């Protein structure tokens, strides 16, 4: 199989992270998730806590109106905006681009589909599910009332949507942003893995 990168965007509770881990194991490639912010911190010299606070979140109240989306350039340490939300994103994006250039891998979230949208060796996936399934899966990790759990899921997904919108100018849940959209509640995690691999093989032909 030729070199490839699979990006996975996911609703909270849809199992996208689990599917990504299963894919990485099945294909024998690296899996990148929160370790992306570690790499970005090491390369930039910016405290990892700043990356963690901005991870898949947008602090800007004007994120939906922001005109300047990701352009790829990182700022130098002498810039007053060196630790800005935008520059933190750009450093993380640089890590994603570097990884895509040198190896096959699975990348979770962080608008990787947009960052790598011009590469022919990238397959972008969005994993979603109905609310009942999201609640069921989230309840396995969190002991909350149904009402609180529903609010928690909505909060996480809103943060991801705002983050995506802020840096790409696009809607996170728009199917047109991805090559493949999968309902994990209908397929199950193993079948999602099979479908992604099958689709990737078709594209590589």
For the chain, the domain total comes to 1
- DSSP-derived letter for residue 8 is E
Q: Domain range holding 132? A: 5-204
Percent of the chain with pLDDT over 90: 66
Given a contact cutoff of 8 angstroms between Cβ atoms, the answer to whether 51 and 85 are in contact is: no
- The C-alpha atoms of residue 138 and residue 84 are separated, in whole angstroms, by 32
Provide the pLDDT for residue 74: 67
CATH number of the domain to which 179 belongs: 3.40.50.300
- Given this model, what pLDDT does residue 71 score? 57
Chain segment 113-161, per-residue pLDDT in tens:
999 999 999 999 999 999 999 999 999 999 999 999 999 999 999 999 9
Q: What CA–CA distance (Å, rounded) separates 98 from 121?
A: 14
Question: Between 6 and 53, whose confidence is greater?
Answer: 6
Q: What is the pLDDT of residues 165-179, one digit of tens each?
A: 999 999 999 999 999
What are the start-end ranges of the H helices in the chain?
Answer: 16-27, 35-44, 48-54, 85-102, 112-115, 131-138, 146-168, 184-187, 189-204
CB-neighbour burial class of residue 78 (10 A; exposed 0-12, middle 13-18, buried 19+): exposed
Bridge partners (DSSP) of residue 10 are 127
Q: What is the pTM of this model?
A: 0.88
Average pLDDT of the residues of the chain: 88
User: Are 182 and 130 spatial neighbours (Cβ–Cβ below 8 Å)?
Assistant: no
Lowest mean pLDDT among 2-6, 33-37, 151-155: 33-37
- What is the pLDDT confidence band of residue 44, given thresholds at 50, 70 and 90? confident
79-99: pLDDT as tens digits: 656 767 788 888 899 999 999
Percent residues over pLDDT 70 in the chain: 88
Contact 134, 153 (CB under 8 A): yes
Q: At residue 63, does pLDDT exceed 50?
A: no
């Amino acid at each position: 199989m030729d070199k490839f990168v699979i990006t996975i965007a996911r609703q909270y509770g849809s199992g996208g992270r689990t599917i990504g881990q299963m894919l990485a194991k099945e294909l024998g490639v690296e899996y990148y998730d929160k370790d992306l912010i570690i790499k970005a911190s090491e390369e930039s010299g910016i405290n990892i806590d700043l990356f963690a606070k901005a991870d898949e979140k947008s602090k800007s109240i004007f994120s939906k109106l922001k005109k300047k989306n990701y352009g790829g350039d990182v700022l130098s340490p002498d810039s007053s905006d060196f630790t800005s939300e935008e520059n933190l994103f750009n450093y993380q994006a640089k890590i994603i681009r570097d990884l895509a250039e040198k190896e096959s891998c699975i990348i979770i979230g962080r608008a990787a589909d947009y960052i790598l949208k011009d590469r022919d060796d990238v397959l972008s996936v969005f994993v979603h599910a109905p609310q009942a399934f999201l609640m069921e899966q989230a309840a396995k990790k969190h002991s909350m009332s149904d009402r609180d759990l529903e609010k928690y899921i909505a909060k996480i997904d809103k943060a991801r949507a705002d983050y995506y919108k802020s840096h790409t100018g696009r809607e996170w849940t728009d199917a047109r942003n991805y090559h493949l959209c999968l309902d994990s509640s209908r397929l199950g995690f193993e079948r999602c893995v099979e479908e992604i691999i099958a689709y990737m093989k078709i594209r590589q032909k």
